[in-house]
Amino acid sequence: MKHVDVKDIQPETAERLSGLVGEFVGQGQDYYRQVFAYMMEAPGFRFTFNIAAGLLGPIWFGARGLWSWFLSFMVLETLAWIQIGQGLFGDLGREARTRADQIAQTLELRRQQIEAAEASGSGSLDALKRAATSLENAMTEAQATAAAADASGTVYLIVGVVLLLAVKGLAASVANWTLEGQFARWRSDRSVASGWSIPRMGLSIAVFGAVTVLSTIKFAQPDAIGLLKQFPTNRDWRLNVGDGIQVAFDWTKTAGRGFFDGLTYGMRTLLDWIEVVLVDTPWPVVALVIVMLAWLSAGPRVAIFTGAALAYLGLLDFWEKAMTTIALLGAAALISITLGIPLGIYCARRPKVFAVVRPILDFMQSMPSFVYLIPVVAFIGSGKPAGVVATMIFGSPPVIRFTVLGLQQVPETVREAAMAFGATPRYLLWRVDLPLAHKTIMAGVNQTILLSLAMVVVASLIGAKGLGEDVLEALQYAAAGQGILAGLAILFCALILDRIVAGKR
């Protein structure tokens, strides 16, 4: 590390500060030196008025690199220009005239029916005449509404002008304050935008002009440019792309039949073993073991709650389905945790790998849960193995993310001290990194289990069985009482697992 002599540190003199202000602002140095000196006399906001910012509006903020403010004032000024455009050349009575034209067409049809009824002496003549009279009144009212709307252009114009002046006054009032804040950031980080940039100004003019002009035209004259009403597309494009994806799915399913069959067999075997433990084992044994786990993990209060929750499941005939649900959840969570923690450890030590894995995790967490069912059913089919795979995809990201986060938060000084005493990479991982990251990793395990349980109802759509079936039946037959009872059963399963995994807090 390079030694810095105290003599080399320049004091914050008025002359040096003035030079920094000039270097930062570029144009208008004398004005901004005075304004910044005034604003720095006291903390907080001090009122100043920047005429250039008021006249140029968002363009001034864009040219100065204040893009968040540029967007805010662009939206506000666009609203004002829309009002002005509607007042100057807007077709304000368009909707009312369209409604009047539609009524006129219906009225013409009724008149034809009246003529036919008069010629035939039909008994519905009076009803048709009353309907025609009602339509005439409605058409007259719509035409009057259209005329009144067309006459209100002056009001729109006045409102738009007032709004525009208010926005420009606000821009002029906060411009120097925002620029002074950017100057403070620039002094510590020279990558912050500074000066008056011609390219930034050009980009601001182009964006602001396009947004304002197109928005004003769309609201003032909706039929002027057809391209603004609907995005240019072709339905055949979506059909062709969908057909291509279907072909890819079919090829993958055929080529990977052995892999998918093996995956299905492995999932089913694991599920069968877990169900033997939870479903086939006598219920008192299972209940006693779960209560003991709760006692050892989280204490007597949680054990009492667990016993009460298990009694609820048993007395209301949810026991077998609850154990089936926990078996499915357990299989999915076991696979997710077994694969997720090692992957998280690998990603924590290799940032480039995590940079590739992170978008995949974002995709897995952002995709709606129902969408997971489409490829899962296409490749694996319906049933419990498909439910395990869908649940595993949905629940895996938290344990990976939390493992990476926990290991990244291990103090580097602790790791350096361990290595200074001769710790090997394996010793460093098992005796230093993982113990210090244990709480964060367990939080990820907890989130994975709860997210997996959240897939119970969704997975039941593809035949995963369990408590989700009761919820679906309640939705189909509008059986609110039964649905609430099944929902509480799922809730109690989630709370039991959460308390056991979280332990004593």
State the chain's mean pLDDT as an integer. Answer: 85
Q: What is the mean pLDDT of residues 336-346?
A: 90
Rg of the chain on CA atoms, in Å: 35
Both 312 and 216 in a single domain? no
Residue 305 falls inside a structural domain: yes
Q: Where are the beta strands (DSSP E) in 157-244?
A: none
Residue ending a domain, choose from 151, 173, 197: 151
Residue 30 falls inside a structural domain: yes
pLDDT confidence band for 421 (50 / 70 / 90): confident
Residue 165 has a pLDDT of: 95
d(CA 384, CA 465): 7
Both 395 and 320 in a single domain? yes
Distances (CA, A) of 79 to 2, 66, 152, 157, 211: 55, 20, 17, 12, 10
Both 296 and 163 in a single domain? no
Total tally of structural domains belonging to the chain = 3
Residue 205 falls inside a structural domain: yes
Residue 46 has a pLDDT of: 84
Residue 505 has a pLDDT of: 55
Task: Summarize pLDDT for 349-402 with one digit per residue, the tens.
Answer: 888 999 999 999 888 888 877 777 888 888 887 778 888 888 888 888 999 999
d(CA 52, CA 219): 29
Residue 2 has a pLDDT of: 40
d(CA 2, CA 497): 55
Both 265 and 323 in a single domain? yes
Residue 123 falls inside a structural domain: yes
Q: Is the pLDDT of residue 463 over 80?
A: no
59 is in which domain, residue-wise? 12-91+155-228
Residue 145 has a pLDDT of: 85
User: pTM for this one?
Assistant: 0.69
H helix and E strand count, the chain: 24, 0
Residue 170 falls inside a structural domain: yes
Both 110 and 179 in a single domain? no
Residue 499 has a pLDDT of: 81
Both 432 and 307 in a single domain? yes
Residue 301 falls inside a structural domain: yes
Q: What is the mean pLDDT of residues 263-270?
A: 84
Q: Is the pLDDT of residue 312 over 70?
A: yes
Residue 1 has a pLDDT of: 39
Could you write out the DSSP letters of every residue in 82-117?
HHHHHHHH--TTHHHHHHHHHHHHHHHHHHHHHHHH
Residue 4 has a pLDDT of: 39
Q: Which residue has the higher pLDDT, 137 or 371?
A: 137
Both 137 and 275 in a single domain? no
Both 361 and 259 in a single domain? yes
Residue 233 falls inside a structural domain: no
Q: Is the pLDDT of residue 72 over 90?
A: yes
In three-state secondary structure terms, 130 is helix
pLDDT confidence band for 12 (50 / 70 / 90): low
Question: 9-23, 186-200, 210-224, 378-392: lowest mean pLDDT where?
Answer: 9-23
Residue 1 falls inside a structural domain: no
Both 141 and 164 in a single domain? no
